[in-house]
């Protein structure tokens, strides 16, 4: 039960953290909202909470609360470019349905 970052995603996260000048890693999570029930959370992490599961992947520290981890297990986070737009994309094997925009999902 783990979470992985693609090489591109890891490189970007490290770069963004470096530019930001502070932060210990990347916080991933899931919260209930959105058109398909659940939404991804992706934030810079400045502090770790006691219950956080910390996964080191590709040199990046990923912090996840245990409840979210259930929904995210096996997910690969990728960084892609689509035309002028670029950003992160969750490849989540747990997601059964996604809303058209891909911002929310259900399991």
Partner 1 sequence: MTLLNIAEPGMSTAPHQHRRAIGIDLGTTNSLVASIRNGNNMVLPDAEGRMLLPSVVHYQSAQPARVGHTALAQAQADPANTIISVKRFMGRNLRDIAHAATLPYAFVDTPGMVSVNTAAGEKSPVEVSADILKSLRERAEESLGGELLGAVITVPAYFDDAQRQATRDAAQLAGLQVLRLLNEPTAAAIAYGLDNASEGVYAVYDLGGGTFDVSILRMQQGVFEVLATAGDSALGGDDFDRCVVDWMLQQTQLHGLNAQDSRQLLSLARQAKESLSDHTDVMITTTLSGANQFSLTLQQTEFWQITQSLVQKTLAPTRRALRDSGLSVTDVKGVVLVGGATRMPHVRQAVAEFFGQAPLTNLDPDQVVALGAAIQANALAGNHSEDQVLLLDVIPLSLGIETMGGLVEKIIPRNSTIPVARAQEFTTFKDGQTAMSIHAVQGERELVSDCRSLAHFSLKGIPAMVAGAARIRVTFQVDADGLLSVSARELSTGVETSVTVKPAYGLSDDAITRMLQDSQAYASEDAEARALRELQIDAQRLLDATHSALTEDGETLLEAIERKQIDNAITELQQCLQATDRPALRAASENLNRATTEFAARRMNRNILSALSGRKLADVGT
Residue 67 near partner 1 by CB under 8 A = no
- Count, residues near partner 1 per rule CB under 8 A: 35
* Encoded tokens for 84: 């002028």
Interface with partner 1 (CB under 8 A), residue from 73, 94, 103, 107: 103
Cα 88 to Cα 11, 19, 49, 77, 106: the distances in Å are: 12, 17, 24, 7, 19
**Segment near partner 1 (CB under 8 A), from 31-39, 52-60, 65-73?**
31-39
CB of 91 to partner 1, least distance (A): 12
Show the binding pattern over residues 83-102: x = contacts partner 1 (CB under 8 A), - = does not: xxxxxxxx--------x-xx
What number of other Cβ atoms are within 10 A of residue 84's Cβ?
5
Which of 105, 78, 106, 83 minimizes the C-alpha distance to 8? Answer: 78
């Amino acid at each position: 039960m783990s979470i992985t970052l693609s090489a591109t995603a890891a490189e970007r996260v490290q770069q963004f953290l470096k530019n930001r000048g502070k932060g210990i890693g990347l916080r991933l999570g899931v919260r209930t909202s959105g058109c398909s029930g659940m939404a991804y959370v992706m934030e810079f992490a400045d502090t770790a909470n006691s219950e956080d599961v910390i996964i080191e992947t590709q040199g990046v520290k990923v912090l996840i609360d245990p409840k979210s981890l259930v929904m995210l297990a096996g997910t690969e986070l990728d960084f892609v470019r689509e035309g002028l737009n670029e950003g992160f994309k969750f490849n989540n094997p747990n997601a059964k349905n996604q809303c058209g925009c891909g911002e929310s999902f259900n399991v």
